[in-house]
Each structure stands twice: as structure tokens, then as C-alpha cells.
Amino acid sequence: MTDPNSAPEAPVNLSATAPAESASAEVAPTAVAPSEAASVALPITPETPAEARLELDIAAGEWQRVSPKYVVVDIVGWVIFGGLVTAASAIPFWFGWEFGWILPAVLGPVFLLVIAFTPRRVKAIGYALRDDDLVFRRGILFQRFVAVPYGRMQLVDISRGPVARALGLAELKFVTAAATSGVLIPGLPLERAEELRDHLVAVAETRRAGL
């Protein structure tokens, strides 16, 4: 879960300054079709055969993980959200409903379980830079992979909430020509987020120019 009350910094708009993408630009065999980013959610279990798993041609060492400090940001967000929802669910009990305690009694342990799995969930977040696209992954039981072609990136934005700012972290968001294919990479050190933003802007402009 991302940090609440995030305040976006100045975004970088690629579509306003970059020329149209060349139709002759080559796409590597592993790249996603240029129309939009590809998003796949798969249940990964030990019994899943190798041929049924998502083939991304990315070695384990090439995945870059977010900062471990993001665990604190995610826990704070869940504590605030879970506390508000649990308190709101107890309103019927406060007004004298005999069975009004059941819902908060269920929601409380559920949110505690979610918070307990936060370190493992944060550890599963990662991204990899390939020749033609950026691949983002997250999820434990159900893993989600998103591949975004560089030439389709239109907006790169860095935002920081109060907790993330105190820990020196930021989140990087970029969207493509397809409005539904935006990707958010949380928990990046600020310097790394700025470097990655500048790199993506430069590569996207180069791909749009057909160089």
C-alpha cells in the first residue's frame, strides 16, 4: 500500500516535447506489443510447471528491489487505514446493537495479518530494466508482472508523502499512451528515483525519435 497523503512533485511530460515514434523502430522478441503495457496476474505455486510460468527472460540477479525502509511506510499506511475502518465498523456496537461487535472482531485480526505479511510483500516488489522496456513485479501468491515499452512512456512523476519523505524515499509513477497501463514503483531512495526518472525520460525521447 502506498503512503497516504502523497504530494506529487513536478511531473515530466514526454508527449509534449518528443516527436512521434518511428514506425520502423525494431522491437526485441521479448518486448511487449507497442500498443500498450502488458499486465499478467498468475498464481505461482510449487506445483506450477515451468512451461506454465510467465517467461520474462530475466535472471534473478537482474531484479532490483525497493528499499527495506518502505516496510515502515506500508505499515503506517495500513495501521491508519485499518484503524479507521475497524473503528467505523464498531459504530453499530456503540449505538447498542447486540451483535455489533462481530464485524470489528473480524476486521481487526484481518488487518493485523495483512500488517504481519508486510515485510514479505515489500520484498516481492521489484523492477528490471531491459533493452526495450521496464518490467515491474509485485505480489506473493498472485504475482503481477507489467512490461512497459520505453517508447510509450508519456509521463514520469515523483511523489513523496510525509512518512516517505522522513525516510528519504519516493515513489516513481509513469503512464503510457494507454491510460490504464500506469505503473507505480514505491519505496525508492530519492536519488535513485531521480536517476531512474532521468534515464527513462532520455530513453523514451530517443525511442520516440526513432534513433
Q: Over the stretch 174-190, which tens digit does the pLDDT of each residue have?
A: 877 765 556 889 999 99
Q: Which residues contact 102 (CB under 8 A, 6 or more apart)?
A: none
116: which residues sit within 8 A by CB, 6+ positions away?
none
Tens-digit pLDDT profile for residues 113-136: 999 999 999 999 999 998 888 899
Question: CA-CA distance, 6 to 65, in Å (whole number)?
Answer: 21
8 A C-beta contact, residue 145 and residue 53 = no
Structure confidence at residue 211 (pLDDT): 53
DSSP string, 76-127: HHHHHHHHHHHHHHTHHHHTT-TTTTHHHHHHHHHHHHHHHTHHHHHHT-EE
Which residues, in sequence order, are CB contacts of 48 under 8 Å at separation 6+? Answer: none
**Of 22, 54, 7, which Cα lies nearest the Cα of 164?**
7
**Percent of the residues in the chain that have a pLDDT greater than 70, as a whole number:** 67
pLDDT digits (tens, 9 = 90+) for 195-208: 999 998 888 888 77
Note the Cα 73 to chain centre separation in Å.
Answer: 14
- Return the pLDDT at 48: 42
Closest to 173 (Cα-Cα) out of 130, 134, 117, 131: 134
Q: pLDDT higher for 24 or 131?
A: 131
Beta carbons within 10 angstroms of residue 14's beta carbon: 22
